[in-house]
Chain A
Amino acid sequence: MKDFHDLKIGQQIKFSGTVYTARDQAHKRLVSAIKANKKIPFDLKGAIIYYCGPTKTPKGKVIGACGPTTSSRMDEFAPILLRQGVSAMIGKGNRSPEVVKAVKQYRGIYFLTYAGCGALLAKCVKAKKLIAYADLGPEAIYKLEVKDFPLIVGIDAKGRNIYGKN
């Protein structure tokens, strides 16, 4: 995602496209698969990872509430995924200095989205498809097609952090 490189911390955008949900257990599995040279269930190159575990899907809806979860729990895994070509992460809250460094090194980006607004964000999700780790339930990897998904740049490709030095 070349156009992400020009974004600066604090900038707000509305994103339309594909994101993949992955949180704690999915990260653990992805990283152990990478370390063991095993097959990864989706192409990490250019992928946008959304730290999200949605509720069950109410009847007649595309998805249930689907806001961001606390990003820092994924800090130990994020640099490995960035090295594999992940282009962006979406979550809430601050990241470790290691993640900030890795974002700069691999020219990724970290976005915040509206924390605790899971119902409202469900409106932006137009399609949802199970990709992997179905046994993880809400922690499975889902491919989401989103429209006008609100994002705030938290860490930009230059390694600047909206929350300052940490």
Chain B
Amino acid sequence: MRIIKSQKIRAAVSALCVKANLFLQPDILALLKAAQKKEKSKRAQEILASIIKNAAYARQNKLAICQDTGMPIVFLQIGQDVRIAGSLAAAVNQGVADGYRQASLRNSIIQDPLARGKSGFTPAVIHTEIIAGNKIKITVLPKGFGCENKTQLKMFKPTAGIAEIKKFILDAVKSAGPDACPPYVVGVGIGGTADYACLLAKKALLGKTSTKLEADLLKEINKLNIGPMGLGGKTTALAVKVKTYPTHIAGLPVCVNISCHATRSASRVI
């Protein structure tokens, strides 16, 4: 048994909120640079160059990469041999507020989705998972709503073929079109239940790509000619990432979560 004080979690969450919002991840930057080389159109090249310049400017001047600093989503993978001293949820939310305040990020969260009202930094959306070991892995994913608004869920019949599923994913990207800051990272969740497919799609954004399905989808998406800012080009998506989970004999849930060209996140193990 290892005791971790909630204050340690608060400090880590705070630092991760700042890191995710100010520093573009190196793998995303590499994908943007590779895309810039592939583009033939001058406009697409120019837009990608601006996005790359924006990341450098944000880093140097300690500014947020994007004014939409998102709804903070915090994933906690907690080792089962850990005991947390203090309130976990309070520590996470205080950490978010600390980080967002410190880096002058945006207070985009309203307390009542219907009454709306004054906005603040918290609460975060918190996902916990119990894993083996005596550590906690914390991941912060600030999700902007320009792209979150383009999420789509479909409950397919269990007899649906892969072609139908691919078409649904492509249509989701088409319907996001120029609106959600392409080139996108496309997260896909397949299986589980309706809610779980949505979580898988979100988690997929954090993962690596490795399958033929992902490579095929990326190729087809990049034929759509949506391109950077939706003004045409070879780069409609930077990556497609699919996560699957067992499901029920009667169904086949598929969720597509679109993420913008910044796809911000940061992780730490404590």
Residue ranges of A at the interface with B (Cβ–Cβ < 8 Å): 25, 52-59, 61, 64-67, 69-72, 92-94, 112, 114-120, 122-123, 135-139, 152, 162-163
Contact residue among A25, A112, A116, A138 (Cβ-Cβ distance under 8 Å from B116): A25
Binding-face segment, B4-12, B101-109, B211-219: B101-109
A70 pairs with B261, CB closer than 8 A = no
A52 to B69, CA, bound (A): 13
A58 pairs with B63, CB closer than 8 A = yes
Other A-B contacts than A65-B58, A116-B54, 17 sampled, CB-CB below 8 A, are A53-B68, A53-B106, A64-B63, A65-B63, A65-B69, A65-B106, A67-B68, A70-B149, A72-B179, A112-B231, A114-B47, A114-B229, A116-B260, A118-B67, A122-B63, A138-B106, A139-B119
A114 pairs with B116, CB closer than 8 A = no
Q: What residues of chain B lie closer than 8 Å to A94, measured between beta carbons?
A: 177-179, 230
B54 pairs with A120, CB closer than 8 A = yes
Interface set, chain B 228-257, CB cutoff 8 A to A: 229-231
A64 pairs with B64, CB closer than 8 A = yes
From B47, which residue of chain A is reached at the shortest CB distance? Answer: A114
- B168 interface hit (Cβ, 8 Å): no
Interface set, chain B 65-88, CB cutoff 8 A to A: 65-69
Q: What residues of chain B lie closer than 8 Å to A115, measured between beta carbons?
A: 181, 229
Given A66-B67, A92-B229, A115-B229: A120 touches B50 (CB 8 Å cut-off): yes
B67 pairs with A55, CB closer than 8 A = yes
Residue ranges of B at the interface with A (Cβ–Cβ < 8 Å): 47, 50-51, 53-55, 57-58, 61-69, 101, 103-108, 116, 118-119, 146, 149, 177-181, 229-231, 260-262
Chain A proximity of B66: nearest CB distance (Å): 5
Chain B proximity of A23: nearest CB distance (Å): 10
Chain B proximity of A86: nearest CB distance (Å): 21
Q: What residues of chain B lie closer than 8 Å to A56, measured between beta carbons?
A: 101, 104-107
Q: What residues of chain A lie closer than 8 Å to B50, measured between beta carbons?
A: 114, 117, 120
A162 to B104, CA, bound (A): 35
Q: What residues of chain A lie closer than 8 Å to B51, measured between beta carbons?
A: 114, 116-117
A69 pairs with B104, CB closer than 8 A = no
A72 to B175, CA, bound (A): 12
A58 pairs with B260, CB closer than 8 A = no
From B231, which residue of chain A is reached at the shortest CB distance? Answer: A162
Chain B proximity of A155: nearest CB distance (Å): 13
B64 pairs with A65, CB closer than 8 A = yes
A157 to B230, CA, bound (A): 21
Q: What residues of chain A lie closer than 8 Å to B178, measured between beta carbons?
A: 92-94, 163
Q: What residues of chain B lie closer than 8 Å to A116, measured between beta carbons?
A: 51, 54, 65-66, 181, 260-262
A69 to B148, CA, bound (A): 13
Show 30 A/B contacts (Cβ-Cβ < 8 Å), sorted by A.
Answer: A54-B67, A54-B106, A55-B64, A55-B67, A56-B105, A58-B103, A59-B104, A61-B63, A65-B66, A69-B146, A70-B149, A70-B179, A92-B181, A94-B178, A114-B229, A116-B262, A117-B50, A117-B51, A118-B63, A118-B66, A118-B67, A119-B54, A119-B55, A119-B58, A119-B64, A119-B65, A123-B57, A137-B118, A138-B107, A152-B229
